[in-house]
Amino acid sequence: MFKSVFTFGLCALTVTYAQSEAPALIRVIRYTDNAASVQTYVQAKVPINVVGLTAISGKAENWLIEMHDSFGSIEDVDKALASPLPANSRAWIGFYRQGLSYRAEEGVKALAQARYVLSTIFQVRFGADADFAELVRQRRARYDFVNLNRPEMAYQVISGMASGTYVFLTPVNSLRALDEAVARTSVVPDGAKRSPAGIEISQEHVLFRIDPRLSHVSGQFAESDPDFWSGKSR
């Protein structure tokens, strides 16, 4: 088991989760031009997986998702890169929340085989985290009701964005899989869709295409489809 405590102002957050394939921490670099390059990771020979994403909805932007198992890993990568963030970029760090995730033990495996990633960014008002957790619990129950086979990895942003920000990453093999998800969840009984009263949540959905040219992954990560990750199948 892994247990960690984070304190934000007057609020202490304790998170406990079992060993999982989902990375304990991610650092995401969002940028709107070609200033960021995965070659900096290649040249520095950093021993982490970096998955590159290109938005196909919303504003034009790319994400580089670094996968870490500790803050020490983030420090090692920061020292190895030894460079400031590129212009027109923003970076944030997210802490894995197993209790808010759905079938996340399959998440990294699904990500290695996916072609798209659906990112959902939630902004929850201060003090409404428990209500948000209940809302997510209801959503997980809805997914279980229809046996939705779609892993979702949840991260709470702890640095780089406003407090109360959560990012959910959903690997998708094909956009056609979203058609099936819409059809399945539409048959859920109305009683399973109720939300806690008074909760204030904003959501932003961005659909990304995974771009191997922007990625830096290990042979183990890429073993399910080495041609894709090497760029040979594009």
Instruction: Give the H or E element holding residue 132.
Output: helix 129-145
Q: Which of 14-23, 34-43, 129-138 has the highest mean pLDDT?
A: 129-138
- Inform me whether the pLDDT recorded for 154 exceeds 80: yes
- Inform me whether the pLDDT recorded for 129 exceeds 50: yes
Q: Which residue has the higher pLDDT, 44 or 7?
A: 44
What value does the mean pLDDT take over residues 84-113? 88
How does residue 7 score in pLDDT terms, banded at 50, 70 and 90?
A: very low
Lowest mean pLDDT among 85-99, 104-118, 140-154, 204-218: 140-154
Query: Mind listing the domains of the chain with CATH numbers?
Result: 2-230 (3.30.70.100)
Q: Name the pTM for this structure.
A: 0.82
Using a 10 angstrom Cβ sphere, with 0-12 exposed, 13-18 middle and 19 or more buried, the burial of residue 215 is: buried
**Cα–Cα distances in Å, from 1 out to 17, 20, 178?**
6, 10, 33
Q: What one-character-per-residue DSSP string does 177-211 give?
A: HHHHHHHHHTTS-GGGG---TT--EEEEEEEEEE-
Q: Please provide the average confidence, as pLDDT, over all residues in the chain.
A: 81
- Inform me whether the pLDDT recorded for 181 exceeds 90: no
